[in-house]
């Protein structure tokens, strides 16, 4: 289990004066997990810089070490991984504990599948609630045995890889980079071609990293919004240096804060602008946000830019369901922005939000209610009725349900509400954005953690 969470740490955000300055948010979480995993599967040393040292990623590092890779921290964000090669993992001695992390646990189930070893996966109370059948189903088709699992195929669970995996063509029932990546990572250990088809394209960091480490992978369009990814199994992965760009999902918090706190002007440096991650930026621009990309460049195979954002007058928009995979983690903070827009913002097709660290659709709705904002849920759609700048009232206490993004979103909201807004526990912010409080305060955000009234 994670070390935190036992004692909740409440915090209070107060209406702040204009936010000003530059900030570099930590490395991308998706790329960080994958850089450790691919480093562990390559033969030789992979050097990583800019790794996110959040709890989720540190758990992946520990699990890679337990499976036989040598993982060393050289300095801040600087890591070295000596990999054991595809098929070279050893059986771990203890349970692999992934804490709060869906990505780490699901990707590493795929990683383990290609080795004839058994491994037990576990996590905290939030992760134990999340669906794992979506990973077990394709892995079982490839020959993996589920030796033990909690009800509904949940954690804790024990997997055993077969002597010889069967390559498959898998059409994923949901657009999920975690499902796609688990099948492709398993496919590394299978002879022949493994194919994943997704009807809507999800983030492509695994495909990019497979190619970066020397695997043969092809990506073709599939239907209007989908992709077909095919991997040739059993490659020898060659170590390749990785520079992790700043995480757009973390950048979303100072970005929305700057939009809703009047007079703000903030520069967020080196943010990854991979088109499969920019749904929030597209949506906010449609809402009228003053967001400019400066110094656009390519770093470590990913497009990045400095993002300049100034407080803006926002207008509600309709966010199409097919945009969801490119902004799946950003809906809570978009809902916050929407309360400061004029008119309705309709966010369509949010069923996947129900199976994140919390039921995010409900947690966002309950948080908006605590802040006195107007919203309604229609099926899997969330509709927020904003009241323009100076929007919501604040005043309540938001339940975060072990969910870092709920905590950060509502702290951002409280920077612009009429009365302060409290969140019940900020300890899980350390899973993805450990420097959140310090960096937001540097910009001028008023967030208190001590002596928060009960």
User: Which residues of the shown chain bind ligand S3P in the complex (CB under 6 A)?
Assistant: 30, 102-103, 176-178, 181, 202-203, 328-329, 352
For residues 295-315, one letter each, b for 16 or more C-beta atoms within 10 angstroms of the residue's C-beta and e for the rest, the string is eeeeebbbbbbbbbbebbebb
Give me the residue label for tokens 């899973």: 431
**Contact between 101 and ligand PEP (CB under 6 A)?**
yes
**Contact between 102 and ligand PEP (CB under 6 A)?**
yes
Q: Which is nearer to ligand S3P, 173 or 390 (CB)?
A: 173
**Contact between 329 and ligand PEP (CB under 6 A)?**
yes
Euclidean distance between CA atoms 257 and 268, whole angstroms: 12
Determine if residue 176 is labeled as part of a ligand binding site: yes
CB of 132 to ligand S3P, least distance (A): 11
Residue 329 among the catalytic residues: yes
**Contact between 341 and ligand PEP (CB under 6 A)?**
no
Euclidean distance between CA atoms 100 and 108, whole angstroms: 14
CB of 174 to ligand S3P, least distance (A): 7
CB of 188 to ligand S3P, least distance (A): 16
Q: Which is nearer to ligand S3P, 16 or 250 (CB)?
A: 250
CB of 422 to ligand S3P, least distance (A): 26
Euclidean distance between CA atoms 359 and 139, whole angstroms: 26
Segment near ligand PEP (CB under 6 A), from 96-104, 169-177, 261-269, 378-386?
96-104
Determine if residue 405 is labeled as part of a ligand binding site: yes
DSSP string, 315-341: E--EE-GGGGGGGGGGHHHHHHHHHTE
- Given 122, 329, 366, 425, the catalytic residue: 329
Give me the residue label for tokens 């990913």: 302
CB of 213 to ligand S3P, least distance (A): 17
Q: Which of 309, 294, 292, 277 is nearest to 412 (CA)?
A: 309
**Contact between 257 and ligand PEP (CB under 6 A)?**
no
Euclidean distance between CA atoms 128 and 140, whole angstroms: 20
Q: Characterize the bridge pairing of strands 265-272 and 374-378.
A: unpaired
Out of 4, 208, 405, 422, the residue judged to bind ligand PEP by CB under 6 A: 405
Q: Which of 288, 295, 242, 290 is nearest to 271 (CA)?
A: 295
Phi, psi for residue 71 in degrees, rounded to 5? -120, 120
Euclidean distance between CA atoms 220 and 228, whole angstroms: 5
Euclidean distance between CA atoms 211 and 110, whole angstroms: 18
Residue count (the chain): 454
Out of 103, 206, 400, 427, the residue judged to bind ligand PEP by CB under 6 A: 103
Q: Which of 105, 135, 91, 108 is nearest to 41 (CA)?
A: 108
Binding-site partner at residue 101 among ligand S3P, ligand PEP, none, CB < 5 to 8 Å by type: ligand PEP
Binding-site partner at residue 176 among ligand S3P, ligand PEP, none, CB < 5 to 8 Å by type: ligand S3P
Binding-site partner at residue 432 among ligand PEP, ligand S3P, none, CB < 5 to 8 Å by type: ligand PEP
Euclidean distance between CA atoms 427 and 407, whole angstroms: 9
**Contact between 206 and ligand PEP (CB under 6 A)?**
no
CB of 181 to ligand S3P, least distance (A): 6
* Residues of the binding site: 29-30, 34, 102, 130, 176, 178, 329, 356, 360, 405
Query: Which residues does the annotation mark as catalytic?
Result: 329
* Residues of the binding site for 3-phosphoshikimate: 29-30, 34, 176, 178, 329, 356
The residues binding ligand PEP (CB under 6 A) are: 56, 101-103, 329, 356-357, 405, 432
């Amino acid at each position: 289990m994670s070390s935190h969470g036992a004692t909740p740490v409440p915090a209070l955000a107060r209406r702040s004066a204009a936010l000003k300055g530059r900030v570099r948010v930590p490395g991308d979480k998706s790329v960080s997990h994958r850089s450790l995993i691919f480093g562990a599967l390559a033969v030789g040393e992979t050097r990583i810089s800019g790794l996110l040292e959040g709890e989720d990623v540190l758990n992946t590092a520990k699990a890679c070490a337990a499976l036989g890779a040598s993982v060393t921290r050289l300095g801040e964000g600087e890591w070295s991984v000596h990999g054991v090669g595809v098929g070279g993992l050893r059986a771990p001695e203890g349970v692999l504990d992934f804490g709060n992390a869906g990505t780490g646990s699901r990707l590493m189930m795929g990683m383990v599948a290609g080795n004839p070893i058994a491994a037990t996966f576990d996590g905290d109370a939030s992760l134990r609630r999340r669906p794992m059948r979506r990973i077990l189903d394709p892995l079982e088709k490839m020959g993996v045995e589920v030796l033990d699992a909690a009800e509904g195929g949940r954690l804790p669970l024990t997997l055993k890889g077969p002597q010889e995996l069967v390559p498959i063509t898998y059409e994923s029932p949901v657009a999920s980079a975690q499902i796609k990546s688990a099948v492709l990572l398993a496919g590394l250990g299978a002879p022949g071609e493994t194919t994943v088809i997704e009807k809507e394209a999800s983030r492509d960091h695994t495909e990019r990293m497979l190619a970066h480490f020397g695997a043969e992978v092809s990506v073709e369009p599939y239907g209007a919004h989908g992709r077909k990814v095919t991997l040739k199994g059993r490659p020898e992965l060659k170590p390749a240096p990785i520079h992790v760009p700043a995480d757009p999902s973390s950048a979303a918090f100072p970005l929305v804060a700057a939009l809703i706190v009047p007079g703000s002007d903030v520069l967020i440096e080196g943010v990854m602008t991979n088109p499969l991650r920019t749904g929030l930026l597209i949506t906010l621009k449609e809402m009228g946000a003053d967001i400019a990309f400066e110094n656009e460049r390519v770093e470590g195979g990913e497009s990045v830019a400095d993002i300049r954002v100034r407080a803006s007058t926002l207008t509600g928009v309709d966010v199409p369901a097919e945009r969801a995979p490119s902004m799946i983690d950003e809906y809570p903070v978009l809902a916050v922005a929407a309360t400061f827009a004029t008119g309705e913002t309709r966010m369509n097709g949010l069923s996947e939000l129900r199976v994140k660290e919390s039921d995010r659709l409900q947690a966002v709705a309950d948080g908006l209610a605590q802040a006195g904002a107007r919203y309604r849920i229609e099926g899997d759609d969330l509709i927020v009725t904003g009241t323009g700048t100076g929007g919501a009232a604040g005043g309540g206490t938001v339940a975060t349900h072990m969910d870092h993004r709920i905590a950060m979103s509502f702290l951002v909201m409280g920077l612009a509400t009429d009365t302060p807004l409290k969140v019940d526990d900020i300890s899980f912010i350390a899973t993805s954005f450990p420097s959140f409080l310090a960096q937001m305060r540097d910009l001028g955000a008023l967030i208190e953690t001590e002596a928060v009234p009960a």
